[in-house]
Each structure stands twice: as C-alpha cells, then as structure tokens.
Chain A
Amino acid sequence: MMLVVAALVVWAVAWWINSRLSNGPSGDTRAVRMTVPVLFGLTVLAVWELVVRGLQVPAVILPPPSTIFTTLAGSIPILWEDFVQTFVKGALSGYAIGCGAAFVTAILADRFEFLRQGLLPVGNFMAALPIVGTAPILVMWFGFDWQSKAAVVVVMVFFPVLVNTVSGLRDTGAMQRDLMHTYGATYWQTLVKLRLPAAMPFIFNGLKIATTLALIGAIVAEFFGSPTRGMGFRISTSVGQLALDMVWAEIVVAALAGSLFYGAVALIEKAVTFWHPSQRV
C-alpha cells in the first residue's frame, strides 16, 4: 500500500513542478518546453512501476517498466533480428516501392484530366478502407517471407500518398502558371520548377502519414503467417506464452523505430520545404 501512496505523491509533486514550470515566468523558454514533457513521461513510468509493485499486479497482465527494460537489454540480438526482418526488409522496401508508384501515378493523373477525375474519388475511397484486410490474401500470394509484408505495405501507403500528391500538384495559382507561360516554359519545365516544389508540403504530409501505416502493415501482415522471426511474429507468439515483458520490449522497439522513421521524414521535409510558412520559426 505504501508504494501506491508513494505513486500518488510522486504524481502530485511532478504535476505541481510542471504547472509551476509552464505557468511561471520562464514558461516559454526552450529548456522548459523540453523539460515538461520529459518530466511527465518519467512520472508516468514511475507511477506505473510503483502501482504495479504496490498492488502486486501479476506480470502476465502488466509487467513493471524495470522488468521490460531488463528483458529489452537482455535480448538485443533477437530484437535486432526482428527489427531487420520487419522494418528494414518489410516496411522500408514496401514504403519505397509504394510511395514511388504513388508518385508516378500522381504525375500521370495530373497530366491527364480524365484520369484525375476518375482516380481521385476511387483513391479517396480506398484511402478510408480497412486495407489491412488484404494481408491474408497477399500473404497467400507472396509467401511467408518479407516480400508479402512489403506488398501489404505497398498497398497501404499507395493511396494516401497518391491523394496528397495529386492535390499538391494542383496547389499553384493561376498567376504563377501564367508567369511560367509567359516565360515560354514547357510542361516539364513548369512541372519541375514550379509545381513539384509547390506540391512538396502536401507530398511530405502524405509521406509522414505513410510512415506509421508502413510499420503497422508490416507487423499486422506477420500475424497471418511469417518465418520464425519478425516483430509481429514475436508479439503473437510471446502473447501465446504470456511472456508480456517480451511483448512490451517489442513495443518499445516498434515505438522507437516508428518515431525515428517519422522524425527522419520530418527532417528531410524541413530541408526541402524550408520556404514554407509552417517551417519558419
């Protein structure tokens, strides 16, 4: 019981510090902006640890963070193997193929008005569908290894990127296009020098949405069959063995991979679209 009380105290103290920090005179400085969420995260971890130990929650329901960390540190080789199988082979290759195909299709759809009018409603419709459901079919076609995971990822990322790219390519004003026209610019010159740069914020929006979808697709596809490695495989078999600390370790890896992937795309976006108002500080 003492530990639960301690958890409450830790929560109250941390919250008090946080509210003092964010409402205080230095609330808008960069240091405080960084400190407050980090402190909040640490508080959640501490409360989790104390409550689980205090109420003696069985490890098959919720393991404490310390156990998860020990498992994580103790099984780095397995986790790395799973990471390579699911993320590098499955998600990344599928992401590259899917985004590339969507980009080419978007250029075509933009070139031919008829194609755009037909593809865009269909694409919008498909983007809202539970595409994860194609996973069993694609696993049946492409086998258990990473190729089928990449195929699921391709189908999942295709439509969001397509829809965003097409709407981005239409984002130039009549004035800007007229200016290119008076310069005597050809279609390709207008595309490369005016419309593609103007579309970049939209394209990156689609690419950022697709990072999360790629990881989800690769992991969920492994539930329908996989070789004896991979993050989805490890999650489903560890759940079966009630080894929840291993599941949580995989979750930590997935969360890290997802955040880093997203962060990397966001960094590239920052370098490419430095001129856009949302990137100015």
Chain B
Amino acid sequence: MTRFVPVLSVIVTILALWYAACIPMNVKEVLTQAERDGAVINPEGAQTRRDLSHFGLVFRNLDHLGGSWSQDRARLPAPHQVAAELWQSTWVEETTGRRGIVKSGSLSNRSLVYHGMVTLGATFVGFLIGAGLGVLLAVGIVHSRTMDRSVMPWAIVSQTVPILALAPMIIVVLYSIGLEGLMPKAVISAYLSFFPVVVGMVKGLRSPDAMQLDLLRTYNASGAETFWKLRLPASVPYLFASLKIGIAASLVGAIVGELPVQRGGLGARMLGGSYYGQTEQIWAALFVAAALAATLVWFVGWIERRTARAMGARP
C-alpha cells in the first residue's frame, strides 16, 4: 500500500497544477464573458486586453475568475470537464443517444467507443503483421550471414528515419491503388512495430552463449533442433520486451494513420476536435488513447507472465 502514496500524490499534484493552469490559460475568454454579464473588468474591452499578458490579467481581476473551470470550448478545459465529456461520449451516448447501441443496435459514430474500436482493429491487425514479419526476418538474419551483413545495418539506420511522418503519404498512395479502410492504417502500424521486434528478436536468438551452443553440438543436435530447443526459448524475454514497445508504436501508427482520411478512429476525432475548437473532445480522445495504450501494454505483459510460468519460471 505504501507504494501507492507517492504515485497518488504525484497524480494529485498534476491535477492541482492542471486546475491552476486553467485560470491564466482561459482568463481572456472568462473576462469577456464576465464583462458581457455586467461586471466591471480592468482594463475594459476585449480589444484592449488582447495583447496583455495572461498573468497580469489574472492579478488585476481576481474577483471575476469564477468561470475559469466551466468555459465552453476552453483553451484548457478543467479535468472534470474532460471527465464529463468522456462520460458523455461513451456511456451516455451509447445508452440514451439516438444513434447509440441501445436505440439503434450498432455503436454510435459519435461515441468514443466506436472510434476506439476502429483504432484498436487497425492496431491489432498491424501489430500481428508487423510482429510476425519481424520474427521471420530475425530468424533469417540469425541463420544467414549474408542477410545479417546486408540487411541489419539498414534495419538500424531505418530506426532513425521518422517513419511516422510518412504516414499520410503511405495512406494516400495505398488509397490510389485501391486499398482503403482498415488496411492502410494497419500497414503503418505494422511498419512501426516491425523494427523493434526485429532488433529485439535478433538479440534474443543470439543470447545463448558459446557453452550452451557447444553442449547442443556434443548432443549432435541439428540446426532445427538447436533453434527450437535452445534459441527460441532463450529469445522469449527479449521478444516480449520488444513486443511491448511494438504494440505501443502500433497504436501511435494507427492514430497518425487516421489523420488524413476522416473515416472514424481516435486520430480523426482529434483532428476534428482541433478543426472545430472542441478541446474537450481532443482531451477525451487523448485519454481514451492513453487508456488503450496502457491496456495493450498490460495485456502483452500478462501474456508474458503466463508464458514465463508455462515455461517453468518461478513467480
């Protein structure tokens, strides 16, 4: 239990800072609203206040800041506003909304559940493709000297290329050859989860030391036996470490892949929110994305623990 006290106090501090930050961030809109409602603001008129500093305005109008945490379309919505939006666009939208699952039988396209599922689908497909290809390439690299020498340096160099930034181009190109919907996003996800898996898996397959390899040689084990009974089991911890990185990268890839094509998904939701100034919508989508990432990483960790136990590791 003592472990939670520091974490909780850091989270509480962050929330407190957030509430405090709302005041200077939203001060101009709040004062304009207060002036419309008849309060006397110093200085008068939204025009004269436009170029003044946020903190200065806060200190000159301490009595009129009541609206800081209830602004509609605030520059920085307060945490409870984001929480309300989250509740509104998941539970309320689905249960009572006209297009919700209760009334129409399918998920509402205005709810974050729907957008989250769209993103999750692309993430999973992309992750499976990327991780599968990554493992295969790693096996090839470990067993063929030529592949190791020629492909591996490029795999490392490609890590330094901002692949994520190319997502819009890949989407458009795949769209023009007829691929649309889930697949283009999955391709980007696959690309992003591919390299961590290759690098980790190569390291893992090479982790048995010379003594262990020599032992298998004295047993007269064939190459395939060495692979299945020594190299593959030895690589499992490395594989899971990189799968965790890979699945988080997959999610980011799917979200960025949704930016150019506005067909649902958390990325589309964020871009839509930024077009229409719906900041609560952006923050809510961001929190759903964060929860998804945490769940996915936890899920891979759970499988890792199960596998480790099945392989005879003591808890």
Interface residues of A (CB under 8 A from B): 15, 18-19, 21-23, 27, 32-33, 36-37, 39-41, 60-62, 114-119, 121-122, 125, 128-130, 132-134, 136-137, 139-141, 211-212, 215-216, 219-220, 223-225, 231-232, 235-236, 239, 242, 244, 247, 251, 254-255, 258-259, 261-262
Partner-contacting stretch, out of B56-64, B109-117, B146-154, B235-243: B146-154
A269 to chain B, nearest CB (A): 14
Q: Is the CB of A40 within 8 A of B151?
A: yes
Question: How far, in angstroms, from A257 to B48 measured CA to CA in the complex?
Answer: 44
Q: How many angstroms from the CA of A216 to the CA of B160 in the assembled complex?
A: 10
For residue B11, which residues in chain A have a CB less than 8 angstroms away from its CB? 122
Nearest 4 interchain pairs by C-beta: A118-B6, A136-B274, A118-B10, A40-B150
Between-chain CB contacts (< 8 Å), 17 pairs: A18-B146, A22-B150, A37-B152, A117-B3, A125-B294, A128-B293, A132-B164, A133-B267, A133-B285, A133-B289, A134-B286, A139-B274, A216-B162, A220-B165, A235-B168, A255-B157, A258-B162
Say yes or no: is B313 at the interface (Cβ < 8 Å to chain A). Answer: no
Interface of B is mostly: helix
Is the interface on chain B under 10, 10 to 19, 20 to 34, or 35 or more residues? 35 or more
In the bound complex, what is the Cα–Cα distance between A18 and B294 (angstroms)? 43
Decide yes or no whether B136 CB sits under 8 A from chain A. no
Given contacts A132-B252, A212-B159, A224-B271, contact A137 B279 (CB under 8 A): yes
**B255 and A23 contacting across the interface, CB-CB below 8 Å:** no
Is the Cβ of A232 less than 8 Å from the Cβ of B165?
Answer: yes
Task: Provide the residues of chain A in CB contact with B76, threshold 8 Å.
Answer: 141
Q: With a CB–CB cut-off of 8 A, which chain B residues contact A118?
A: 6-10
Query: Is B75 part of the contact surface with A, judged by Cβ < 8 Å?
Result: yes
State A220–B75 Cα separation when bound (angstroms): 21
Inter-chain CA distance A141–B159, complex, in Å, is: 31
Q: List the B side residues contacting A231 at CB < 8 Å.
A: 165
Question: For residues 247 through 265 of chain B, which have their beta carbon under 8 Å from a beta carbon of chain A?
Answer: 248, 251-252, 255-256, 259-260
Which residues of B7-63 have CB atoms within 8 Å of chain A's CB atoms? 7-11, 14, 25
Bound-complex Cα distance A247 to B171 (A): 13
